[in-house]
A and B are shown apart, each in its own frame.
Chain A
Amino acid sequence: MTPKLNRWKRFADWDERPLRLDKFAAEDPANGFSAFSSPADPKPGIGIAGGRVVSLDGVLEHDYDMIDRFIARHHIDPDVAPEAMALDSATVARWLVDMNVPRETLVRLAHGMTPAKLAEVVSQLNALEIAFAYSKMRARKTPGNQAHVTNAKDDPLQLAADAATAVAFGFDEIETTMRVSRNAWSNAVACAVGGAVGRWGTLFQCSSEEAEELRIAMAGFTSYAETVSVYGTEKSFTDGDDTPWSKAFLAAAYASRGVKMRCTSGAGSELLMGFHEAKSLLYLEARCLCLQRGMGVQGTQNGGIDGAPLTATIPGGVRELMAENLIAVWLDLECASGNDARSTESEIRVGAKILPYLIAGSDLICSGMGSILKYDNSFNPSLINGEELEDYLVLQRDFEADGGLTPLPESRAIELRERAVEAIAAVFEELGLSTPTEDMKTSVVYASGSDDTRSLMPRDVSFISEAIKERGITVIDVVKALANRGFREEAENLLNVVKLRLSGDYLQTSAMIRNGRIVSAVNDPNDYLGPGSGYRVSEERRLQLNDIRDVLDQKEVLRSEALHEKDEARHIRYRNLGPAANGSTNDDVVIGISPAFGLKLYRTTAGHRLSEVLGAMLDAIRARGLKARVVRFRHTADTSFLGLSAARLAGSGIGIGIQAKGTAVIHQRDRQPHNNLELFSNAPITRLEHYRALGANAAAYALGEMPEPIVVPQRGEAMGSRYHARVALIYAIETGLTEAGAAPEEVDVTLTGAKS
């Protein structure tokens, strides 16, 4: 007796899925858990008097907190504000998705909009509209991407190798940080050197304490900074130990040193810090973004960032992340659009999260993607990591969408990793910092992650790092060391990156380097005005995106079949006996084989020799005392028709149809073609024992019995994705041999080889 349970077992199944590790939070605006709107959010509003903003979203000037004050003074353009604020928000929302309303028109209006107004407008868009508007409004036309390059040991050899690999995959920026903060200088030198291998132009940052980061930039090792965080409430801002003025001062300081900079802000930070003022995530983020435009930074790292996992627990949270990114680009800021902190354990949620950005494009789609393994990511795992990077390459190919990356052949990856490891080792030796052993270097070259390496440990690295800092080593010293040790190309590459800071061209909005040239929102502005405009994947680029590894074509299929041809010749001989006759006795069962069976194709998709498959069926039929004939059909390659035609020739009225790929059917003379007795459609999992049972059942039907149909057990494998490309190519070989009206041929089969 089956016992009664207290739950539906499906829920127990669901409990086992990674999704259930994600926790979800109830909507609760009073406690800050609200994505798009909260009763505490102000209504949009502005008061202008004498060219001054005297009220902002319902707050009068003398009540401004420091964020209101900064936005009123530095973001709002009083000449535009009256017009922009008077517009109906629904109308502006429509303009955002209207391809006929140019980006510049909307950017100008945003200069006059308050945070509440911007939030009110984008709130009206659904997720698809937000993605579309984002694609239209982002500042630079060509999309790009950023990688994290870190490891659990702060091992500089691995950093160099992984930086070189990331550069080769096409990342426009790489960002590092440390497990141990005093290792910052070593990390900076290692990534700068690794990032100079293969090509030049990848920008690099070393995320560390504000003052230290600026010093590292001054020494020339890094070329940008992005961890200048801003917050949407006054209390979180001061708890973050800054003010809008201190951060804006830092922004000017970076500019004065010729170093590219963006701020960071994202939903959920105020909630995490405990000062959310019961406001919605989007409204607080709109404040952050208006602040950033006011500060005069060229861009923002935005879209939840460290707060993304928390935001994703809230209803509509992921849509909110997209909405805040839209506000960022509408405010004309470069957007490194999050998709970094891993916001879920569910691979489905990961894929769904990245897709809108991949197809809409973004200045930096991830900020950044883990180019290293999850456990090596010193920032915390990214949405997409070294483990899943290939999935992302395939998504690019699936959607013909440029996600900024290019497939990298394995041999090239090894070459670059060797070069990078040798280069950093040479620099360390030349500067008297360390002498890495051959074993250290080799272990790093082939390592997927730091678990595989026998290299420098965090403590070793600390001595290197402190020496770099204490001795005042600069990028000039590193360039010289590289050149002196024969790494001239890398020396040139590194020097080129430092030279960028002289003109400051890369300080402009959304600047990156492609093929040695500056590409920014100034000389590559997004000009989307509908299909045919904006960024388009060129044919050349499309072919790059397509070039993933292990791609199957007909040549490849025929090549592998040719390998089997000789082998089969030792096991079976087919002899054509001329036109097949109708069987005259009721103990006659016919096996109908397809046109290419044993002639061009030799194995089933499960890998069984056709000789063995045929032998198993013949044996099983004969074991019941029946006669079994083999007939080749050339008028069709379709399993059903093969089976039916065989049945019609058989004296018993029972026939088997089988294709070379192993798909088989048991048929009966008087049935409709597709209404067979038994079908064996999952050839890739059909084993010899099934073919034997198939033969036995055919015999049983011929004897007038009613056998138990054969079940080929399957566990829900995605047969189509695993086999259909091969199957279609194989089937084309079969159909290529068919000939209308070709008569069935009696075949004498001699099994010669030993069974395996």
Chain B
Amino acid sequence: MTRTRADYPLAETQPGAVTGKHGKALPDITLDAVLAGEVTMEDLRITPQALQAQADVARDVGRPTLALNFERGAELVEVPQDFIMQVYELLRPGRAKSKEELLEAAATMRDTYQAERIARFIEEAAETYAARGLFTFRF
């Protein structure tokens, strides 16, 4: 379902529906639960669903570019930190030595993590870097 500004803030309008990665809902994440060892960092991670809901809200209030960023973010939720940092590094100037390295990263995003928007975004970067000579070696 598509959220609107009326659903905002989600933590107040539907706290029970806001959950972490393992399905633990906001009201269940209490200090006592933490002390009982029932809460891990994974329970405190945002889900793709929450990011999509925020994207809906952003679009509803006239912020389409912010919504797209949330949607790209939603695709990265399941991507491991190391791979995110690896791709970030690759996107920095002169790190990738050829367009192919970036295209390969895009393919992994698409095939392994179903991160279609992210994949297209990396492909667009690859095309731009080629046009602007960013694959040059930096000492």
Contact = CB atoms under 8 A, between A and B. Distances in A.
A218 interface: yes
A243 B134 contact: yes
A238 B73 CA distance: 24
Interface string A92-114: 00000000000010011000000
B18 A503 contact: yes
B34 A503 contact: no
A507 B8 contact: no
B77 A241 contact: no
Contact of A242 (B8, B72, B87, B93): B93
Nearest to A261: B69
B36 to A, nearest CB: 10
B44 A220 contact: yes
A627 interface: no
A258 B46 contact: yes
Contact of B31 (A241, A488, A523): A488
A107 B124 CA distance: 27
Given A211-B88, A503-B18, A509-B66, A256 B8 contact: no
Contacts of A492: 31
A509 B63 contact: yes
Contact of B10 (A214, A219, A243, A503): A503
A491 B54 contact: no
B1 interface: no
B81 A215 contact: yes
Chain A facing B: main interface SS: helix
B79 interface: yes
Contacts of B94: 238
A1 to B, nearest CB: 70
A503 B11 contact: yes
A501 B77 CA distance: 12
A27 interface: no
B49 to A, nearest CB: 10
Contacts of A214: 81, 85
A483 B31 CA distance: 8
A255 B65 contact: no
Nearest to A518: B9
B27 to A, nearest CB: 10
Contacts of A475: 41, 44
A210 interface: yes
Given A249-B87, A518-B9, A296 B68 contact: yes
Contacts of A238: 93-94, 134
A504 B129 CA distance: 33
Main DSSP-derived SS at the B contact region: helix
A491 B30 CA distance: 10
A488 B35 CA distance: 11
B44 A498 contact: yes
Interface string B12-32: 100000111000001001010
Contacts of B77: 256
Nearest to B90: A246
B69 A523 contact: no
Interface string B77-96: 10101001101110111100
Interface string A228-254: 000000100110011101101111111
A65 interface: yes
Interface residues of B, number: 64
B74 A256 contact: yes
A295 interface: yes
B139 to A, nearest CB: 13
B67 interface: yes
Interface stretch (A67-75, A366-374, A386-394, A714-722): A67-75
Contacts of A744: none
A265 B72 CA distance: 23
Contact of B54 (A211, A246, A295, A505): A505
A84 B134 CA distance: 33
A507 B54 contact: yes
B107 interface: no
A296 B67 contact: yes
A606 interface: no
A256 B51 contact: yes
A505 B9 contact: yes
A650 interface: no
| Residue from A210, A215, A296 whose CB has the most chain B CB atoms within 10 Å | A296
A492 B53 CA distance: 26
A245 B128 contact: yes
B31 A508 contact: no
A409 B75 CA distance: 48
A66 interface: yes
A338 interface: no
Contacts of B74: 255-256
Most buried by B among A219, A220, A505, A517: A505
A249 B121 contact: yes
A508 B60 CA distance: 12
Given A243-B125, A492-B31, A499-B44, A251 B69 contact: yes
Contacts of A346: none
Contacts of A70: 128
A476 interface: yes
Contact of A108 (B31, B34, B62, B73): B62
B9 A503 contact: yes
A257 B35 contact: no
A715 B85 CA distance: 63
B41 A523 contact: no
A404 interface: no
A234 B134 CA distance: 11
Interface string A511-548: 00000011011110100000000000000000000000
Contacts of B68: 296
Contacts of A252: 69, 72-73, 75-76, 118, 121
B97 interface: no
Contact of A495 (B29, B62, B118): B29
A518 B46 contact: no
Question: Taking each of B66, B67, B75, which has the highest tally of chain A beta carbons within 10 Å of its own beta carbon?
Answer: B66
B35 A245 contact: no
A218 B81 CA distance: 9
B45 A296 contact: no
Interface string A199-226: 0000000000011001100111000000
Contacts of A474: 41
A504 B26 CA distance: 12
Contacts of A484: 35
A296 B65 contact: yes
Contacts of A143: none
B106 to A, nearest CB: 11
Contacts of A297: 66, 69
Contacts of B45: 257-258, 501-502
Contact of B65 (A74, A104, A245, A257): A74
A293 interface: yes
A492 B54 CA distance: 25
A484 B134 CA distance: 53
Contacts of B64: 77
Interface of A: 65-66, 69-70, 73-75, 77, 104, 107-108, 210-211, 214-215, 218-220, 234, 237-238, 241-243, 245-246, 248-258, 293-298, 332, 474-476, 479-480, 483-484, 488, 491-492, 495, 498-505, 507-509, 517-518, 520-523, 525
25 contacts: A211-B88, A211-B89, A215-B81, A243-B125, A243-B129, A245-B125, A252-B75, A252-B118, A255-B70, A255-B76, A256-B84, A257-B46, A258-B50, A294-B65, A296-B65, A296-B67, A296-B70, A476-B34, A480-B35, A502-B26, A503-B9, A503-B10, A503-B26, A504-B53, A523-B9
Given A74-B65, A258-B50, A502-B19, 11 more contacts: A252-B76, A256-B74, A256-B77, A258-B46, A296-B67, A483-B34, A492-B31, A495-B34, A499-B29, A504-B46, A507-B70
Q: Can you list the 8 inter-chain pairs with the closest CB atoms, starting with the nearest? A: A296-B69, A255-B73, A258-B46, A256-B76, A245-B125, A246-B91, A252-B72, A505-B9
